[in-house]
Structure 1
Amino acid sequence: MNWDDLRIIAAVRDEGTYAGASARLRIDETTVGRRLARIERSLGLRLFEAADGVRRPTRQCEMVLAHVQAMSAHADEIGRIRESLPGPVGRLRIASTNAVAEEVLAPRANEFLRVNPGLTLQFLTSSDNVKFSRWEADLAIRLRKPDKGDFAISKLAEVRLYFFEPINVGAGGPVTCAYPDELEGIPEMQFLRARRIRARCVTDNVRVIRTLIQSYQAAGVLPEYGSAELLADRRLRATLLPKRRDVWLLVQNHLKRDAATRATIDWLRGCFHDVSQGA
């Protein structure tokens, strides 16, 4: 059943004619008749009888309308919930890599949600890009700028990158970690190529690279977020890369002016600003 269809039943009962229901609901009179006939077929019930030019509800219709009235009351209550909550209200799906969600967003989500009780965030984490054309997410954080797409795109941040290597290592030197060939255009890979460093461990998972570096037998490039312990470790040498990694924000076009979306975008920008400031 469809809520709009149920509203038609109530309008015909209240107005007594298709024309009256049409004017009340601001839809075509023939549409009222067609949709009411469809409802009757679906329910297997006759809802109205014509008498003296007026559509009078049958006993079965009155039973249906009792439920419609209850549903209408519940809908009003739901509306009042929105009014009772301070700030923006909504549910937003944010797609990002695991590292961004774990290291940048999650540590700062609790405070944001606490001061915005009407908001719900759903984190979608994957190394694969969501398909915005299929509405798989409302916002997405990407580490490479998309070539094209039917969405709003803006630069979210520029992230510092560090090459970590052990100060003391055994014969043969450290095992160097790198990203897959399809990411050859990113600053991390450009740095390794410029140094003519041959990668012996290939992964797109920064946690794997970080774990290997913490063994003091491996080297690799990591973003600043999630690297505080490595930067403070005196057994490691950290070299700041000359180039930063651009971070891009994608937003569904129809949500650009939505209050909940705007609040969330401001929060996302604040998250990456905190990272750049070492907060």
Structure 2
Amino acid sequence: MNWNDLRFFVAVAKEGTLSGAARCLGKDHTTVSRRIEALEADLGAHLFDRLATGWKLTEAGENLMPAALRIEDDVLVFERQAHGDETAHGVVKIAVPPSAGRLLFAPRLAELLRDQKNLEYEILGSSVVANLARREADVAVRMVRPDQSGLIVRKLVELRYAVYAAKGYTERVPKEKWEFCADGRNTFGDYQQGWVWDTLDKELPVRIKADDTATVQAFVAAGHGLGLLPRYMADEDDRLEVVADDSLAELSKPVWLVVHPDMRRSPGVRMVMDALIKASDSIPAAYKS
């Protein structure tokens, strides 16, 4: 039996479809199907019922799943410890929010890459939280403190926010016609909204919600209302002006550095962590609390 086929078995069982497993594994769906068929042939067992709605584990598959998960966990531990003992070369997977990664951390990481010729980066600039235990990333920068146990977590910085509008918007548009562009993720919560309404002394209609800050910024810059934006982004945009500053840093948001304990010993990961910490230290004082 090819032990690598267990990865395909676990992925299909978790995702429930070939396409979902293929995305998870970075393979095409025909490869996934072929590997499952090979595993079934080796074991002499029918592991999945191929249904119109997806692939469902058979009784035999259900019985094998706990053992497959234990083997997968052992393999992941083996990989993390092996990578943790490497010298400073190879690929370091870095999960970082797109805007913060591009504006705050990329310059410092580029310096490290220039100095360390044997290092490579794989940047995962997605809002999806990478699973460090499964080595989806080696080190992560997160805007929300992780609640997963067993991870090493360090606060990098607290980022300040302010309410912005396109230059001239508050003069052109009567206050009773102001609108608000909101970050539709959990980052714009009841407290933040209440602060904005109290500060402006007005509850604004919200007709636009976006799932990333850059899109909110683009709509605000185009003249569609006000938006609550991080200062490190909006202060650098000459199309915008501050309408209300969070001078007491009541809305500041922490940024967290997260790494799995097994990867902390990797020279490459340690260098990346140091670079991220130095990048945070070098953020202008006006942008952090």
TM-score grouping bracket, smaller chain normalisation: 0.5 to 0.7
How far off its partner does 1:180 sit?
A: 2.3
Match of 1:207 among 189, 193, 214: 214
Between the aligned partners of 1:136 and 1:186, the Cα distance in structure 2 is 32
Secondary structure (helix, strand or coil) at the match of 1:182 reads: coil
Q: Which residue of 2 aligns with 1:237?
A: 242
Between the aligned partners of 1:155 and 1:189, the Cα distance in structure 2 is 25
Secondary structure (helix, strand or coil) at the match of 2:91 reads: strand
Q: Which residue of 2 aligns with 1:169?
A: 172
Q: Choose 1 or 2 for highest CA Rg.
A: 1
Between the aligned partners of 2:136 and 2:123, the Cα distance in structure 1 is 12
1:255 aligns with 2:242: no
Number of paired residues?
A: 193
What are the superposed Cα offsets for residues 151-188 of structure 1, whole Å, 9 maximum, x if unpaired? 11111111111211333232453331112263354874
Q: How does 1:109-258 map to 2 (within 5 A)?
A: 109-165=109-165, 166-171=169-174, 172-180=176-184, 182-185=186-189, 188-189=192-193, 191-192=195-196, 194-195=198-199, 196-230=203-237, 232=238, 236-241=241-246, 242-243=249-250, 244-258=252-266
Against the structure 1 CA distance between its residues 205 and 119, is the aligned structure 2 distance closer, same or farther, given a 3 Å change threshold?
A: same
What are the superposed Cα offsets for residues 22-79 of structure 1, whole Å, 9 maximum, x if unpaired? xxxxxxxxxxxxxxxxxxxxxxxxxxxxxxxxxxxxxxxxxxxxxxxxxxxxxxxxxx
**Pairwise CA RMSD:** 2.8
Task: Kindly indicate whether the alpha-carbon contact (under 8 Å) linking 2:185 and 2:211 is maintained by their aligned counterparts in 1.
Answer: no
Against the structure 1 CA distance between its residues 257 and 278, is the aligned structure 2 distance closer, same or farther, given a 3 Å change threshold?
A: farther
Identity %: 23
Letter in 1 for 2:170: I
Against the structure 1 CA distance between its residues 162 and 184, is the aligned structure 2 distance closer, same or farther, given a 3 Å change threshold?
A: closer
Secondary structure (helix, strand or coil) at the match of 2:104 reads: helix
Gaps of 5+ in 1: 3-81
Secondary structure (helix, strand or coil) at the match of 2:127 reads: coil
Larger relative contact order (Cα-Cα within 8 Å, sequence gap ≥ 6): 2
* Greater Cα offset, 184-193 or 212-221: 184-193
Against the structure 1 CA distance between its residues 142 and 194, is the aligned structure 2 distance closer, same or farther, given a 3 Å change threshold?
A: farther
Letter in 2 for 1:170: V
Match of 2:284 among 273, 276, 279: 276
Between the aligned partners of 1:134 and 1:213, the Cα distance in structure 2 is 38
Gaps of 5+ in 2: 3-85
Letter in 2 for 1:203: A
